Structures are given as C-alpha cells and as structure tokens.
Amino acid sequence: MNLQELTAYNSNTPLFAVIGDPIEHSVSPLLHKTLYETDGINADYTSLHITDDTLREFTDIARKKLCGFNVTIPHKSAIIPYLDEVDETARMMNSVNTVKVINGRLHGYNTDILGVIATLEKNNIEIKGKSVCILGSGGASKSVVYALLNQGAEITVARRKNSTTPCFADNMPAVNVTTLDNLPDADIIINTTPVGMTASCADTPISDLPERCSFVFDVIYTPLETTLLKKASEKSIECENGLYMLLIQGVRADEIWLDRKISENAIKAASDILEAGVVKNRLAHRKKSSILLSGFMGCGKSTVGKALSDKLGFSFVDADAEIVKKAGMSINEIFEKYGEEHFRKLETDVLKELSACTDTVIASGGGAMVKAQNFDAVKDNSLVIYMDADEDFLYKNISKSDERPLMKTPDPKTRIHELLSSRKTNYEAHNHISINASMPVHAVVYEIMKRI
Ligand code: S3P
C-alpha cells in the first residue's frame, strides 16, 4: 500500500501496517495475517514504504486510518518525536517498534525486547552469572542489551573494528564495549550484525566460537541456518535463529493493539508459515523455481519430497511415476522388455520436461543425477539437493519393496555397496546442496529447509 491508498482506505476492517525503508522483504504481513486468520480476528495488515521525508505525513494519516503499526529500520528512533506517548522501556531504549492508535493519539512501545526475552526463555537459558557477548551495536543489539540488563550477566558489546560513531552502550556502566576481533571467552554469543544474511550467506561475523560457548542466538532468520549457526551445530552447541524473536515481537504487538491474547495455535501456524516463507524467498534469491531431490535408491527422496512439498505449499512430482505414465508400464517391465538403456533415455526425456516446473518438489530416480547431462538439464531451474545416506539406512528402506529392478539380486547389501561406490563421485559433483539423509523424515525436511 502507498500513502495515497492509505488515505483512501475506508473499510470497516481494522487495518495495521509495518513501515520502513526498505520494506519489500518484510514478512510481517504474512505473520500478522496468519495470526488473524487462525484466531478468527477481523483485521488486516499491510506494508508501507516510508522514507525519512514522508514519516510526518504518514503519522498524520495513520492517526485516522490505522489502528496500529510496526516500525522497522530506519525509523525506530526517528518516529519518537511524532508520538503522543511513549512507554517507559521504549523511551529508555530510544527505540519504538510498535505504535497503537487510541482515539487518534499515537502510543509507542517496544516489543523487540520481548522477542529476545522469549527466545532465551524458550531455550531455557539461565543468564545469571553468564558472560554474554553481543556481536554488533545497531538497533537489534540495543534490544538484546536491554533484555539482558539487571539479570546478573556480564554483558559485552563487540563492534566492528573500524566503527567511528559512538556506541549506544558507551555510557552504560554495566556493559563492556570491545571489537569483534577482541572477543572475551563468552558462554553465550548473540549475533545482531547482518553478516550471514541472504547476500553474505557464507560469511560469519566471527571466525570461531569462544571455547566456553554453550549457546548461540543469531537474530538473522534468512537463511534459517546461518553459517554461524551451522558452526555452532557442528560443535553440538545449542542454537536458535531469529524467527521466534520476530514471531513473538509481532504477537505481543497484536496483543497490545487488540487487547487480547493470541492463541498458541495461531503462534504455531504463523511459525510454520514463516519458515516456509523464508525458504521460498531463499529459493527465489537463488533464482530457482523448484527443488529436485537426488540420491541413491532408498534414501527417502519420495517420502521427504512429499513432506517438503506439503511444508512449502509446492506440488510434488515423482520422476519415476512420470516415466511409468509415459511408457504405460512399470519400471520393472521397462527394464525386462527394453533394458536399462531404454529406461535411461525415457528418464532423460522426463527430466527435460520437468525442467520447466515451478513451485514443485521433484523426486528424481536414484540413477538420474549420475549423468552430467541430466544434471545440466535441470540445474538452472531446480535447486538440486543430494540426499547422502549410509548403506545400512539404504538397505532398510530398499528391503521394504521389490519394485526396483536393479535390486533383484540374492545379495542386495553387496549390490548397494558396489553401485553406491561407483556413483558417489557423480552424486557429489551433480548437486547444489548436499545433506545427510540418514535421519527421520521430519529432520531431513528441516535440514533441507535450513540449508536452502
Ligand atoms: C534407479 C532407481 C529407481 C528407479 C530405477 C533405477 C537407479 O528410483 O529410477 O529403478 O538407477 O538407482 P528410486 O531411487 O526412487 O528407487
């Protein structure tokens, strides 16, 4: 929506909004609409691109047309002079992310801090006596610092080495200020810098985690797992991304605006939808329209593919089923009547056809991504995920069915070993992302979502 459209808004449905610059990528409309829909709340939520120059004009219109709004970068402090009242915490922080319109008057609050507190609570993080190091000194850092104050933690804010502006924590006696290259040995690391987000995905704000570290919270949620969080997982350090913080700040804003509780059911629904929304954004960022699962027979391509497509609201296509349709006979029959070579030709044809799919999860046959030609046919359109699984896991799944011609052998374990060994190099060469698939289905689905 733009300011003109907001001025013209005259529906009876209470309207809320998020304002910022930029604003296109905000998932707040998706979040709030899901909460309203699940809890049967008659309200709508939009986003407005508001620059510094249009902030005053916006607040004038908001007084008449909106019931409340969220504020994001870069207006969290700049909005304050236009408000009629500011809650004590928000005033102390000099940061407002939630404004409620009451009889044309604007009341400011900060619910970001509640999102931080909720994230620490969700992970049962005891702050007292801990050394907490916060990476970055921007707006998100401020919310984290205020959430941690007076709880008996030793708080350090680590800034970029070449920061020239004063730090908000310079005059806070309870907070140490240092640089990212001079980190203390902390128990908890909280990243509030944008390093690791979408464009700088492979980067981390720090090259290694401190020895003592037992929890890492990254306020970034796109991708769902940043390189920093991956490092933490690899070291078996507990960690959490920023999606729950985003969710709870939004929920608390709605509770202030609507004077009612948002149900746990709605929070769960919004959490699922947001994760899917983030993955779809990531896929678009990678300029891919679909996801293709590759891997040896029995690694779970079809089961995981169906579950993943459900999560994302995508269609699901099984490449082997398409071959069966095309040939008018089962895979076993194709192999028996015409031989493997003919099957491979049909497989290449089907993959070429599927390379135009949008919003689809494709389960390919176990031999499909062995050939470079097949990978080349799909790789521009689809994000190819190699599901690497161990031989015992594959054997367990394969022995459930007798529909695989290549497994018609008295010694399937040896056949799996030989065939997998001969294909492994090609599977590994022909993918965009490789994951460990020897896990329960839901864990594999989430692993894929995190890595996209
Ligand atoms: C094959 C795997 C099968 C099927 C055909 C050949 C292979 O698919 O395409 O039997 O060469 O590995 P699944 O991986 O779905 O079993």
**Candidates 317, 320, 345, 399: which one to mutate for ligand 1, based on the most atoms within 8 Å of Cβ?**
320
Question: In this model, does residue 200 exceed pLDDT 90?
Answer: no
Domain-embedded: residue 373: yes
* Region 422-451 average pLDDT: 96
Same domain, 343 and 371: yes
Task: Catalytic residue, from 65, 76, 142, 311: name it.
Answer: 76
**pTM of the full structure:** 0.83
Per-residue model confidence (pLDDT) at position 225: 93
Q: Could you give the CA distance from residue 350 to residue 326 in angstroms, rounded to a whole number? A: 8
Q: What separation in Å is there between the alpha carbon of 283 and the centre of ligand 1?
A: 26
- Classify residue 280: in a domain, yes or no: no
* Whether residues 202 and 229 fall in one domain: yes
Residue % of the chain over a pLDDT of 90 = 88
Whether 23 contacts 79, CB under 8 Å: no
Q: Is residue 342 one of the residues assigned to a domain?
A: yes
Gap from CA of 367 to ligand 1 centroid (Å): 6
Dump the DSSP string for 211-268: TT--EEEE---SSSS-HHHHHHHHTT-EEE-SHHHHHHHHHHHHHHHHTSPPPHHHHH
Q: Is 76 one of the catalytic residues? A: yes
Give 301-339 pLDDT, tens digit per residue: 999 999 999 999 999 999 999 999 999 999 999 999 999
How far does the centroid of ligand 1 lie from the alpha carbon of residue 446, in Å?
Answer: 24
The preferred substitution site among 404, 415, 419, 424 for testing ligand 1, maximizing ligand atoms within 8 Å of CB, is 404
Residues 142 and 215 grouped into a single domain: yes
Give yes or no: residues 189 and 302 share one domain.
no
Same domain, 310 and 424: yes
Does residue 210 sit in the same domain as residue 320?
no
Report the mean per-residue pLDDT for the chain: 95
pLDDT at 405: 81
> How much is the average pLDDT of 118-124?
95
Percentage of the chain exceeding pLDDT 70: 100
Residues 119, 30 share a domain: no
Say which residues have a Cβ less than 8 Å from residue 166's Cβ, sequence separation at least 6.
none
- Which atom, in ligand 1's list, is nearest to the CA of 423? 12
Contacts of residue 137, Cβ cutoff 8 Å, sequence gap at least 6: 157, 159, 163, 167, 168, 169, 177, 192
pLDDT at 198 over 80: no
Report if residue 78 sits inside a domain. yes
In a domain, 302, yes or no: yes
Could you tell me the pLDDT band of residue 165, with boundaries at 50, 70 and 90?
A: confident
DSSP annotation of 204 reads -
Lowest pLDDT segment from 5-19, 106-120, 397-411: 397-411
Q: From 293, 297, 326, 329, give the residue whose CB has the most ligand 1 atoms within 8 Å, as the site to mutate.
A: 297
311 plus 372 within the same structural domain: yes
Are 207 and 292 part of one and the same domain? no
Domain interval for residue 258: 3-108+247-275
The reply to whether 154 and 81 lie within a common domain is no
In the prediction, which pLDDT does 17 show?
A: 98
Same structural domain for residues 214 and 325? Answer: no
The CATH number of whichever domain residue 85 belongs to comes to 3.40.50.10860
Identify the pLDDT of residue 199: 66
Looking at 187, 221, 241, the residue that finishes a domain is: 241
Per the document, the length of the chain is: 452
Residue 301 covered by a domain: yes
Average pLDDT over residues 95-101: 96
| pLDDT band for position 349 (cuts 50, 70, 90) | very high
Q: What is the CATH number of the domain that holds 160?
A: 3.40.50.720
Q: Which residues line ligand 1 (CB under 6 A)?
A: 297, 301, 320, 331, 365-367, 404-406
Render pLDDT for 56-74 as a digit per residue (tens, 0 to 9): 999 999 999 999 999 998 9
CATH number of 379's domain: 3.40.50.300
30, pLDDT greater than 80: yes
Q: Give nearest CA residue, ligand 1 atom 2.
A: 366
Q: What is the mean pLDDT of residues 21-49?
A: 94
Instruction: Determine the atom of ligand 1 nearest the C-alpha atom of 405.
Output: 10
382 alpha carbon – ligand 1 mean position (Å): 19
Number of domains in the chain: 3
Same domain, yes or no: 64 and 122: no
Please give the distance, rounded to the nearest whole angstrom, from the Cα atom of residue 365 to the centre of ligand 1: 4
Domain membership of residue 281 (yes or no) is no
The answer to whether residue 282 is domain-embedded is no
Residue nearest to atom 1 of ligand 1 (CA): 366
Taking only the tens place, the pLDDT of each residue in 433-443 is: 999 999 999 99
